[in-house]
Amino acid sequence: MKSSIFLIILSFACGTLVYCQCPPSVLKIQTPACEAPKDLAVKRINCDSLIVKWQGNANQSYIIKTYSMDSLRNQPIVNEINKYQCSSNGTCTASIPVKQGTTINWSVQSICNINNTVFYSPTTEGKEANIPYCNAIASRSTMQSTTNTNTQLIVYPNPSQGYLNVDYNSKQNGIAVISVSDVAGKTVFNQAYDVVQNINHYQLNLHNLSPGVYLLSLKNGEEISYAKFSVLKK
């Protein structure tokens, strides 16, 4: 009898919900009225943090869930759950603590309050991120900038088997354009990235490149840095 009464009350409370799930300590109700996050992307990868971004609603808060796997020990690392608010224009960013040498899977879920009832949007998955070992000095290839000797560009591992880590120490905020050219001078990779005044870390997916020698250039304003690397057969 008590179970029947509970089901009737639950059905009335959920109303237009998509579905209700009941974890041990809290009832989570999902509904289209709670706007789901959009345009999830990795903004930057640092040695100890993963910076992610998405488009959201300033009137909602967000939960980021992470699940990572230690690539060296092949062991899972405990999930982290945090709450974040977006700026007034709906631009949302979050810094996720990470461990070197791990692969991070992450997702974002909206939380909204409608008529004093807490609702949740469906979970939106972000792009998987691989966190490098930043102390792997021996495997890095270094070339100084052609325009500023205080600017350092480091690429590793070299040779690469598909992923290439790029560390760039910038003196200014801005936008950096990273290009990769083959020995014939043909551009095979070109992408823009946000730059902050400090050490920036980027990870390039170059699995589509054929084995050979390549030249990477990074242009930040009037400043251009170069680094040569090679790709091995996978």
Residue 89 has pLDDT above 90, yes or no: no
Q: Where are the domains of the chain?
A: 16-130, 137-231
Distances (CA, A) of 93 to 37, 84, 105: 12, 8, 16
| Listed residue (225, 55, 61, 47) closest to 147, CA to CA | 225
Is there a common fold for 16-130 and 137-231? Answer: yes
Residue 112 confidence (pLDDT): 87
- CATH value of 137-231 in 3.30.70.20, 3.50.50.60, 2.60.40.3080, 3.30.379.10: 2.60.40.3080
Which of 29-43, 72-86, 209-223 bottoms out in mean pLDDT, i.e. has the lowest? 72-86
Confidence of residue 174 (pLDDT cuts 50, 70, 90): confident
Q: Percent of the chain having pLDDT more than 90?
A: 14
With beta carbons less than 8 A apart as the criterion, state whether 74 and 84 touch.
Answer: no
Instruction: Look up residue 208 and give its two tokens.
Output: 């589509």
Please tell me the predicted confidence (pLDDT) of residue 39.
92
CB under 8 Å, gap of 24 or more: what pairs does 8-13 form?
Answer: 13/117
Domain 16-130 has CATH 2.60.40.10: yes
| Mean pLDDT taken over the chain | 75
168-200 in b/e form (b: 16+ CB < 10 A) is bebeeeeebebebebeeeeeebeeebebeeeeb
pLDDT on residue 22: 39
Categorise residue 9: left if φ over 0, alpha if ψ from -120 to 50, beta otherwise.
Answer: alpha
